[in-house]
A and B are shown apart, each in its own frame.
Chain A
């Protein structure tokens, strides 16, 4: 079922997405989306953790840092997705231009993924102490 949820958008993009038909470009695009798709479902975890920490009504600086890290991770993902809309405008660009863009986006989304995972596990550890 989970695989289907992942497969469907890929199928859709393959069929209806920007026509970046080159296999190498497509492969790299899929890699970028794979990183995104893995952590996107964790966005609601971030929101739930923020809420739980705020409920403690603590002014413990550690908690405040955790809240900020969660916020930054959430905003990191949201702004990455907004920026990534730019890919559509590269539809008629050269293969090299697409690969260059996707390679830099792969680094960016990997950073966002790391930020999300780190802030989530730090917050979970704090709440379980």
Chain B
């Protein structure tokens, strides 16, 4: 009898420590009521050019979930750390067609499609899986705000996205569902779990 109690306690403790929460991931960011519907922060339409010189809009990502970050190839400090974490995400989901990675440059003057192509080639990543986007500078800065505003509601967040290495997780409906600091590997370990949870929602 004692054995059963001990065993149950053991199981209880184990399940209590279970780290992965169940159920759908929350939607992050500003929401408003339209009629009786709650509308969540949504990434607006966009049009950029990828490392193959192909125009990429929200349509190309419509049936995917994706992680999004902002970088530039000449970035001296934070980007190399974030790149390492993006590569972790790439490696984990390389064979999961639902997941894509989208890196936007904030230096379109120098980061032309050709430059991004070389950058991607050096990383040896598939251009259909990991999109490097360039385009109009103002449009790139504007969309960055759209990605980061929900994360910036935290008053402790450092200002100026250029120096923040956040990686945002976006669902098929263009809602932000999670994010992590690309400079902190443990944060990205957590993000990987959230990606798994989001994948599960579509299965």
Contacts and interface: CB of A to CB of B under 8 A. Distances in A.
Interface of A: 1-2, 5, 8-9, 12-13, 16, 33, 36-37, 40-45, 47, 50-51, 75, 78, 81-82, 84-85
B86 to A, nearest CB: 15
Of B145, B156, B164, B183, chain A has the most CB atoms within 10 Å of the CB of B183
A41 B162 contact: yes
Interface in B94-111: 106-107, 109-110
B138 A41 contact: no
A12 B158 contact: no
Given A5-B163, A9-B183, A37-B163, A85 B74 contact: yes
Interface of B: 72, 74-78, 80-81, 106-107, 109-110, 137-138, 141, 144-145, 156, 158-164, 183-184
Contacts of B81: 8-9, 12
Contacts of A85: 74, 76
Contact of B138 (A43, A51, A82): A51
A30 B164 CA distance: 19
B158 A5 contact: yes
Interface of A is mostly: helix
Given A2-B158, A5-B164, 8 more contacts: A8-B78, A16-B80, A33-B76, A40-B160, A40-B163, A44-B141, A44-B162, A84-B74
25 contacts: A1-B158, A2-B158, A5-B78, A5-B163, A13-B77, A33-B77, A40-B77, A40-B162, A41-B162, A41-B164, A42-B160, A43-B106, A44-B159, A44-B162, A47-B137, A51-B138, A75-B109, A78-B74, A78-B110, A81-B74, A81-B76, A82-B74, A82-B107, A84-B74, A85-B74
A42 B109 CA distance: 19
Contacts of A12: 77, 80-81
